[in-house]
Amino acid sequence: MEFIIKKMLLAFFLTPLISYGSCLNVGVIDNNPAGYLDESGKKTGVHWDYFEVISEYTQLCMKKELLPYARVRSSLNKGSNDISLGLMSPSKLDALIPIALIREIKTVVIARMKHSVNSYHDIKNLTIGKTRGTRLSKHFDQDKSLKIEELDNYAMAVRMLISGRIDAIAGSLSVLTYQLQQYDSAGVIQVSNHLELGKKEQWLFMSKKSKHTDKIPLLSEAVSSLKSSGKIQKILDKHYLK
């Protein structure tokens, strides 16, 4: 009897460790609304919630962590994180495996109202803020003549735009619109005064160094099902249509 009890206790203590060790490490970009702490200190956000429903669908353990964009990318390259979301670019394919397309994102430059932006030429003399490391379009990214301010997050970019420290901001239209709604920008910025740069695909990626590549078919299936059922759109609506 004592032997059986010892075996039960051993199994009890070892099971969480085994489960924990089999978790996928997930890097979530620490940038509102992708991932952030709400007023109560709870972790939430569009990307955070994506992984919540993907974990629920697949029944895979996922250890999520909020990280700056640059650390999300480096952790995937090193293999210390297994999966994350990001915009597709040729350079990422060297170290990452694209698993599933999440959605297509429109990228834009939004300027202060006194700067009308009807063509690419109109942004040439503007000081443009963007989040560090993000890629928005091939032409824009490679244009060395542009005056670009690399910033830590979208919130910082919006505050600098409203205060007049920069002339414009560049990024995802939906994210920039969301951020502008959090501040009193009336009379200074109109979202309609923007220049479309292009469209980027947001993908679920896995590190090529991950030990969980066998989970790729299941993760791909999960994203496809969650998109078809409307759960991905529901998360977008939850955060963007407040």
The CA distance from 106 to 102, in Å, is 13
Q: Which of 16-20, 57-61, 152-156, 196-200 has the lowest mean pLDDT?
A: 16-20
Q: Can you give the pLDDT at residue 21?
A: 53
Instruction: Give yes or no: residues 58 and 16 share one domain.
Output: yes
Q: Which of 13-22, 124-133, 145-154 has the lowest mean pLDDT?
A: 13-22
Instruction: Give yes or no: residues 98 and 217 share one domain.
Output: yes
What are the Cα distances from residue 180, in Å, to 37, 53, 147, 185, 240?
18, 28, 22, 7, 12
The CA distance from 32 to 183, in Å, is 13
Judge whether 6 lies within some domain. Answer: no
* pLDDT for residue 158 is more than 50: yes
How large is the average pLDDT for residues 99-107?
96
Percent of the chain at pLDDT exceeding 90: 71
Instruction: Give yes or no: residues 109 and 177 share one domain.
Output: yes
* pLDDT for residue 8 is more than 50: no
The whole model's pTM is what? 0.79
Instruction: Give yes or no: residues 109 and 194 share one domain.
Output: yes
CATH number at residue 21: 3.40.190.10
Q: Can you give the pLDDT at residue 3?
A: 43
Ramachandran region of residue 148, left (φ > 0), alpha (ψ -120 to 50) or beta? beta
Helix (H, G, I), strand (E, B) or coil at 157: helix
Q: How confident is the model at residue 52 (pLDDT cuts 50, 70, 90)?
A: very high
Report yes or no: 189 and 161 within 8 Å, Cβ to Cβ: yes
Q: Which domain does 170 fall in, by range?
A: 105-200
Q: Can you give the pLDDT at residue 153?
A: 85
Q: Can you give the pLDDT at residue 31?
A: 87
